[in-house]
Amino acid sequence: MIDEKRAFPRKAVSLSTNIFDIETNAVLGECILTDVSKNGFAVESEVVLSIGQKFGLRFTILNKDILLTGEVVRVDNGFFFILYGSRIVDEFCENLEFFRKYIDYSLI
């Protein structure tokens, strides 16, 4: 078994949403959010992204609209599509602290 080296452990999720371009706000395609942590998340998508590219996700948790902006740091094979590991870009997110508290207290 490999020891987890991340400062914040991942928590598995399964949420379908859209990936959008943060500069133009244009929807690039659909994705599945597969795991989250306080500093990052992973999505699977048919959308082609590259390392360093920034993108956004919008979804609702407990009646709060969440905007997560990520920067691709890893590209791998996912279960269905391409898997993108991303770090959260704090300055472009909305309701990020609420999202982080939700991760801490609501996800197992």
pTM of the complete model: 0.89
Q: Is the pLDDT of residue 1 over 90?
A: no
Over the chain, what is the mean pLDDT? 91
Identity at 53, one-letter amino acid code: Q
68-89 confidence digits (pLDDT tens): 999 999 999 999 999 999 999 9
Closest CA to 33 of 50, 11, 51, 16: 16
Identity at 68, one-letter amino acid code: L
